[in-house]
């Protein structure tokens, strides 16, 4: 019995209809931008394995940092104790956060980083003695799979079975091109009641929503309104941080600074699960009190795990090197050169780019949907050509590790062009 068969006997995979899914591909090892299966076949990981592997697979510097830390300290409770990797990681992250941010709260993943942010924002107003409980979020957003994160996400198929258990959220249109005024007007209306605690958003790129993109100016206008109405702002940078947008944070593309920032995915370079929530001194100050009821009652068993912190420090080491940013600029430039080819194709509804993220929305003759039947066909098409692309319905996106070579990018682009030509022959 091979590994895929053994897998199907005992495992339940995420976002997978197990009855109809193809057998999983058994990956034996990874190196750089490549994954190798049991038979030695290589796949270009053009999506950084769900957007986490910033520097590619099995990077020796990250492996060394993890190994060294394991030999010193594997884990320690983070209530009443601390350790050097956590302190150093917080210090280095805060150097890259908005200038008014002074504290880092560690958690386990992107969803829990968002849960932390939501609870911070709600309790902030409770501790201040004000009745502000509502959350405003963007339509088409995705913030995670825990209940708070689901509540502030789009109320689509992902969360429909749980809808009766989610708290009420005001959703306003995403300010994609052509909808900026409607988005701003809806936000103004939502803020008018004075009972909004926070506005949560994915800056510039909505990942699971189909890599929908909007401008820094549109984001600035939304954040400005929130500041004018004394509403906290939460930037879900779980996917967009660490250079993905072309800057360390996507919110760095405009002047208004969020009060809270959520981080995960690329935080450890794809080696270990970890989340972090950064906040301003003003937010932290609402909890810093002689009243123990003002304590932030939240935590995780693996909060600030030393090995995870060491991995994150190693990832920051690599991200702070000039050659890493040269690679980011190179990928941005390659995407820009290719995007017109896709835009001019008769089957492309839209092609868009932010930083190292390229998205091509295919016109399948149906309304854009995560459940578009074309998704499975395209996924298999790319795998057959040794390329891992995981379309979001009819939206094919490229979000590669920074170490991907130009030749590997050429292969990815060519596979996308070939897919379009194959589809065009059927029209």
Q: What is the pLDDT of residues 357-395, one digit of tens each?
A: 999 999 988 877 778 889 999 999 999 999 999 999 999
pLDDT value for 427? 67
> Of the listed 108, 221, 236, 327, which one is catalytic?
236
Q: Which two tokens stand for residue 101?
A: 């941010």
> Of the listed 142, 214, 402, 413, which one is catalytic?
142
Percent helix, strand and coil across the chain, each rounded to 5? 40, 20, 40
Tens of pLDDT, residues 273-316: 999 999 999 999 999 999 999 999 999 999 999 999 999 999 99
- Residue pair 314/66 in contact (Cβ under 8 Å)? The answer is yes
397 a catalytic residue: no
130 a catalytic residue: no
Tens of pLDDT, residues 124-135: 999 999 999 999
User: Residue 331 phi/psi, 5° resolution?
Assistant: -65, -40
pLDDT at 157 over 90: no
Give dist(CA 216, CA 176) in Å, integer: 11
In the chain, DSSP finds a helix count (H) and a strand count (E) of: 13, 16
Lowest mean pLDDT, pick from 161-175, 176-190, 361-375, 407-421: 361-375
Give dist(CA 82, CA 94) in Å, integer: 17
Task: Tell me the three state secondary structure of residue 206.
Answer: strand
**How many Å from the N-terminal Cα to the C-terminal Cα in the chain?**
42
Give dist(CA 216, CA 187) in Å, integer: 16
142 a catalytic residue: yes
Tens of pLDDT, residues 314-333: 999 999 999 999 999 999 99
15 a catalytic residue: yes
- Identify the band that residue 182 occupies on the pLDDT scale cut at 50, 70 and 90: very high
> Of the listed 15, 22, 323, 410, which one is catalytic?
15
Tens of pLDDT, residues 109-120: 999 999 999 999
Give dist(CA 202, CA 220) in Å, integer: 13
Q: In this structure, how many other beta carbons lie within 10 angstroms of the beta carbon of residue 266?
A: 26
User: Residue 49 phi/psi, 5° resolution?
Assistant: 45, 70
Q: In this structure, how many other beta carbons lie within 10 angstroms of the beta carbon of residue 402?
A: 25
Q: Which fold has domain 62-319?
A: 3.40.640
* Of residues 245, 317, 251, the one with CA closest to residue 92: 317
pLDDT value for 372? 82
Question: What residue segments make up the domains of the chain, in order of their start?
Answer: 1-46, 62-319
- The conformation of residue 105, written as its DSSP 8-state character, comes to E
pLDDT value for 93? 98
> Of the listed 109, 221, 265, 397, which one is catalytic?
265
Q: What average pLDDT score do residues 179-195 get?
A: 97
What is the chain's mean pLDDT, rounded?
97
Tens of pLDDT, residues 218-273: 999 999 999 999 999 999 999 999 999 999 999 999 999 999 999 999 999 999 99
What is the bridge-based pairing of β-strands 196-201 and 232-236? parallel
């Amino acid at each position: 019995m091979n590994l895929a068969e053994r897998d199907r006997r005992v495992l339940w995979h995420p976002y997978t209809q197990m009855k109809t899914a193809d057998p999983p591909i058994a990956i034996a090892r990874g190196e750089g931008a490549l994954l190798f299966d049991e038979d030695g076949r290589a796949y270009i990981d053009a999506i950084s394995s769900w957007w986490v592997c910033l520097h590619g697979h099995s990077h020796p510097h990250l492996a060394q940092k993890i190994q060294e830390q394991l030999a010193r300290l594997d884990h320690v409770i983070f209530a009443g104790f601390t350790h050097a990797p956590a302190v150093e990681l917080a210090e280095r992250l805060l150097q890259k956060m908005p200038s008014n941010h002074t504290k880092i709260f560690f958690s386990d993943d992107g969803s829990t980083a968002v849960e932390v942010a939501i609870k911070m924002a709600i309790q902030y107003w409770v501790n201040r003695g004000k009745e502000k409980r509502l959350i405003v979020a963007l339509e088409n957003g995705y913030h995670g799979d825990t209940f708070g994160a689901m509540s502030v996400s789009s109320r689509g198929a992902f969360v429909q079975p749980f809808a009766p258990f989610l708290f009420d959220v005001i959703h306003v249109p995403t300010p994609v091109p052509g909808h900026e005024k409607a988005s701003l007007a809806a936000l103004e209306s939502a803020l008018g009641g004075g009972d909004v605690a926070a506005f949560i958003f994915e800056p510039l790129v909505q990942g699971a929503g189909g890599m929908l993109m909007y401008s820094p100016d549109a984001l600035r206008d939304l954040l400005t309104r929130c500041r004018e109405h004394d509403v906290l702002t939460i930037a879900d940078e779980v996917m967009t941080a660490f250079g993905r947008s072309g800057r360390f944070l996507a919110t760095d593309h405009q002047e208004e600074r969020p009060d809270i920032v959520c981080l995960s995915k690329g935080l450890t370079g794809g080696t270990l699960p970890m989340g972090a929530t950064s906040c301003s001194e003003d937010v932290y100050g609402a909890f810093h009190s002689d009243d123990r009821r003002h304590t932030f009652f939240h935590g995780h068993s693996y909060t600030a795990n030393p090995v995870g912190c060491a991995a994150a420090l190693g990832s920051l080491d690599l991200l702070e090197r000039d050659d890493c940013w040269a690679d980011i600029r190179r990928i941005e430039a390659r995407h820009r050169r290719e995007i017109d080819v896709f835009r001019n194709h008769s089957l492309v509804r839209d092609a868009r780019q932010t930083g190292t993220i390229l998205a091509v929305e295919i016109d399948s003759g149906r309304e854009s949907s995560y459940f578009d039947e074309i998704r499975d066909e395209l996924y298999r098409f790319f795998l057959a050509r040794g390329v891992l692309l995981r379309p979001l319905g009819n939206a094919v996106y490229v979000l590669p590790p920074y170490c991907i070579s130009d030749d590997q990018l050429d292969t990815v682009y060519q596979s996308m062009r070939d897919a379009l030509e194959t589809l065009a022959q059927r029209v």
